[in-house]
Structure 1
Amino acid sequence: MWFEAVSGLRINLEKSELIPVGRVENINDVALNFGCRVGSLPSTYLGLPLGAPFKTVSVWDGVEERFRKRLARWKRQYLSKGGRATLIRSTLSNLPIYFMSLLKLPSSVRRRLEQIQRDFLWGVGNLERKPHLETWVADVWDPLAEGGWSPCFSRVLNDWEVEEAERFLEHLHGKRVLGDVEDMVVWTKTKSRKFSAKSLYLALEADCPVLFPSSCIWNGWVQPKISFFAWEAAWGKTLTLDLVQKRGWSLANRCFMCLENEETMDLLLLHCSKTKALWELLFTLVGASWVLPSSVRETFLSWHGSFVGKKRKKVWRATPLHIFWTVWKTRNRLAFKDD
């Protein structure tokens, strides 16, 4: 009563527990006098486990469950990739870091939390159907058949994919499976045969003679959703009509902006007549004379702003990302205006 009178706060006895340590006589009578219930160890206090072995994985079950609720898959339908990344960072700072200030994060829990983050960031929606990729060797290897290999494709090939499929079959030809060995999934780019994101990037860099403009794309002056779009555009992964066709959709391919040429990412963001007018206006305003490169990636790599001065340099470096984003949003409004 004195505490409530001095602080202006009220103790909620309905949420309070009396937890005995060791043997306590008449514990129920004591709890009745206090007006609370009797609890037991292990329990939680301020969100942290109390009385549980701190090295056990089960201590983190509550964190993982709250992690899944905060990053529920249905939420990603209403957020851009930048919004998803912001929510992931917020969830990381609020939940596991609080625990890690006192307890060591087990590697198995870390992997599960990372998987939840990846699914939330890169997924599309609850109704998304992803193609299954890791067919076992035993499913496509027949030692009695001519050549030994009989792969089955998940769909009918398009005309422009036939040559690539032929190269794949030629690569398989001559390869033999020896002995009765159990199928295993291995990653040949590492000595441990285990996949890592670093080894994938190193392998991609080795096959790509042009550097990737990561410092230009992940710009602190640009919203994350715009950087994500620029990153996908630089890799050629944004769904323009040419890529939609390659995924098996029968659509007429015509640029939604100029209605003149077939739509590709480089054409839409750089060389479309409507987009060119926007770039020419920009160069006129800053007094620059420059011919746009052939691709989005080359544009980022060659984008320098020494002539605009130090005060405008940061704004200049962010300019192509905002132009790309503006063109893409305009294109989508034209594409889906009747939906």
Structure 2
Amino acid sequence: MKALPITYLGAPLYKGNKRKVLYENLIDKVRNRISDCEHCHLSYGGRLQLIKTVLSSMPIYLLQVLNPPVSTIQKHERLFARFFWGSTTEQRKIHWTKWHNACFPTDEGGLGIRNLRDVVSAFSYKLWWSLRINNSL
């Protein structure tokens, strides 16, 4: 038997406190996907669509199963914001608004991007509700 931490079905299994190192694999996957798309000359609308459809959906499975540390979610949001505003590893661009404001629905003046912190809390409530109703996971 292998010692913990191990990865099972894409999620890290560990004993004890949450460690940021266990979630670096997911952050690296998002970072690699962003670096693949940096060379394409995408407009703000193209980058927004890529964030909404591809990049935001990459951590969803892990967020359903585990509650990652806040620093992991902050890293994801930082990567999304830097990609959206056009920052690269060589060049930093101005962020014209806070990322928190961009995560509002379009009706409220945001860009319609899902806030990962809200997604984590929604999945936690869903898991809690499932446990309360079914007495089992």
Query: What is the TM-score when the length of structure 2 is the normalising length?
Result: 0.56
Task: Verify: 1:47 aligned to 2:13, yes or no.
Answer: no
Sort the Cα spacing of 1:86 and 1:52 in 2 relative to 1 into closer, same or farther, 3 A: farther
Kept in 2, the 8 Å contact 1:72–1:120? The answer is: no
Q: Which among 54, 79, 84 is matched to residue 121 of structure 1?
A: 84
Please give the per-residue CA displacement for 1:104-154, whole angstroms capped at 9, x wherever unaligned.
Answer: 1322112111111111001166664658xxxxxxxxxxxxxxxxxxxxxxx
> What SS does the aligned partner of 1:109 have?
helix
Match of 1:92 in 2: 56
Match of 2:72 in 1: 109
Q: Which among 59, 81, 105 is matched to residue 22 of structure 2?
A: 59
Sort the Cα spacing of 1:42 and 1:76 in 2 relative to 1 into closer, same or farther, 3 A: same
Task: Verify: 1:79 aligned to 2:42, yes or no.
Answer: yes
Sort the Cα spacing of 1:77 and 1:105 in 2 relative to 1 into closer, same or farther, 3 A: same
Q: CA deviation at 1:74?
A: 5.4
Following the alignment from structure 2 to structure 1, what is the Cα–Cα distance between the partners of residues 37 and 93? 16
Kept in 2, the 8 Å contact 1:41–1:51? The answer is: yes
Gaps of 5+ in 2: 111-137
> What SS does the aligned partner of 2:12 have?
strand
1:60 is aligned with what amino acid? Y
Q: CA deviation at 1:75?
A: 2.2
Following the alignment from structure 1 to structure 2, what is the Cα–Cα distance between the partners of residues 55 and 75? 31
Kept in 1, the 8 Å contact 2:47–2:83? The answer is: yes
Following the alignment from structure 2 to structure 1, what is the Cα–Cα distance between the partners of residues 25 and 12? 9
1:91 is aligned with what amino acid? L
> What SS does the aligned partner of 2:65 have?
coil
**Root-mean-square deviation (Å):** 3.6
> What SS does the aligned partner of 1:72 have?
helix
2:56 is aligned with what amino acid? L
The structure whose RCO (Cα within 8 Å, separation 6+) is larger is 2
Following the alignment from structure 2 to structure 1, what is the Cα–Cα distance between the partners of residues 43 and 71? 29
Q: CA deviation at 1:102?
A: 1.5
Following the alignment from structure 1 to structure 2, what is the Cα–Cα distance between the partners of residues 91 and 62? 14
Q: CA deviation at 1:51?
A: 3.8
Following the alignment from structure 1 to structure 2, what is the Cα–Cα distance between the partners of residues 46 and 57? 19
Kept in 1, the 8 Å contact 2:51–2:80? The answer is: yes
Q: Which has the larger radius of gyration?
A: 1
Following the alignment from structure 2 to structure 1, what is the Cα–Cα distance between the partners of residues 56 and 5? 25
1:85 is aligned with what amino acid? L
Gaps of 5+ in 1: 1-19, 21-38, 132-195, 201-213, 219-339
Please give the per-residue CA displacement for 1:26-62, whole angstroms capped at 9, x wherever unaligned.
Answer: xxxxxxxxxxxxx553221221113454622222111
Query: What is the TM-score when the length of structure 1 is the normalising length?
Result: 0.26
Kept in 2, the 8 Å contact 1:81–1:121? The answer is: yes
**Mapping of residues 177-326 of structure 1, within 5 Å:** 197=98, 215=107
> What SS does the aligned partner of 1:78 have?
coil
Structure having the higher helix fraction is: 2
